[in-house]
Amino acid sequence: MSARRAVVLLSGGLDSATCLAIARRDGFETHALTVDYGQRHRAELDAARAVARAFGAASHRVVALDLRAIGGSALTSDAIAVPKDRTDAEIGGGVPASYVPARNTLFLALAVGAAEALDADAVYVGVNALDTSGYPDCRPEFLDAFRETARLGTKRGVEGRPVEIRAPLVAETKAGIARLATALSVPIAKTLSCYDPVAGGGGAPASHCGRCDACRLRKRGFAEAGIADPTSYAA
């Protein structure tokens, strides 16, 4: 009997890499899906490839989706600055310029489509509603609504076999994610969570800037977990 399949949305960051490890732990044959959406932090595509290789994903698709054509985000426009050096209170209040309009709606639609094509039973996504920058598409109520959309709008759904959308980290803290990643042997040093990474010299991997929201949350998570952070930060 062949293994059950799961599509894992893999950005190359710590959360999505941990989701890939969880999917493996749950007994799924994993198929990674990375979206090349025109993000300014393109080093994450290399990180995603490295993580997929390290975990022996059965396949790894990189799908092009030009969100620069839409704009409206610091991650898809060089004209909008990436927020940096914000306090915890600032990070927790309002939706920042790093929000990409409807990104998770689009990514989940792609992942569910890939799951149907592969006859996969589940999609794993690393969204997190606690230690986050206030993105509306990382909330449980968004996931519940999308699950219903996928049930109504797919062949598997109308046949009574909807693709299960799993978000195992949605209610987890960054400290909890750091502990999970360590326990599941995630190659943490290969992951890249930064919104504005600093290019490495001489072909070296990019470093985390250390100042954007994602870096600050990542640093805090490891500190609160009491786990040594192997991440390379420029600041």
> pLDDT at position 202, please?
64
pTM (predicted TM-score): 0.95
> pLDDT at position 219, please?
95
Q: Is the dihedral of CA 53, 197, 195, 91 positive or negative?
A: positive
Q: Give the tokens for residue 219.
A: 């640093």
In a domain, 234, yes or no: no
Residue 18: domain span: 5-225
In a domain, 105, yes or no: yes
Q: What percent of the chain has pLDDT over 90?
A: 86
Closest by CA to 167, choosing from 116, 107, 214, is: 107
In a domain, 159, yes or no: yes
> pLDDT at position 69, please?
96
Which runs of consecutive H residues, i.e. helices, occur in the chain? 14-25, 43-54, 88-91, 103-118, 140-153, 155-158, 174-183, 213-225
In a domain, 232, yes or no: no
In a domain, 167, yes or no: yes
pLDDT in tens, 79-120: 999 999 998 888 877 899 999 999 999 999 999 999 999 999
* Burial state string for 191-215 with b = 16 or more CB within 10 A and e = fewer than 16: bbbbbbbbeeeeeeebbbbbbbbbb
Could you give the number of structural domains in the chain? 1
Which residue bears the tokens 């987890």? 172
Strand partners, 212: 84
Q: Which amino acid is present at 22?
A: I
pLDDT at 220 > cutoff 90:
yes
What is the pLDDT averaged over residues 212-224? 95
Q: Mind giving me the DSSP string for 15-33? A: HHHHHHHHHHHTTPEEEEE
Query: Could you tell me what percentage of the chain is helix, strand and coil, using 3-state DSSP and rounding each to the nearest 5?
Result: 40, 15, 45
Label residue 20 by pLDDT band (50, 70, 90): very high
In a domain, 200, yes or no: yes
pLDDT at 74 > cutoff 80:
yes
In a domain, 230, yes or no: no
> pLDDT at position 203, please?
62
Domain of residue 108, CATH code? 3.40.50.620
Which comes out higher in pLDDT, residue 96 or 202?
96
In a domain, 231, yes or no: no
Label residue 1 by pLDDT band (50, 70, 90): low
Strand partners, 60: 32
Give CA–CA dist 226/110, Å, rounded: 37
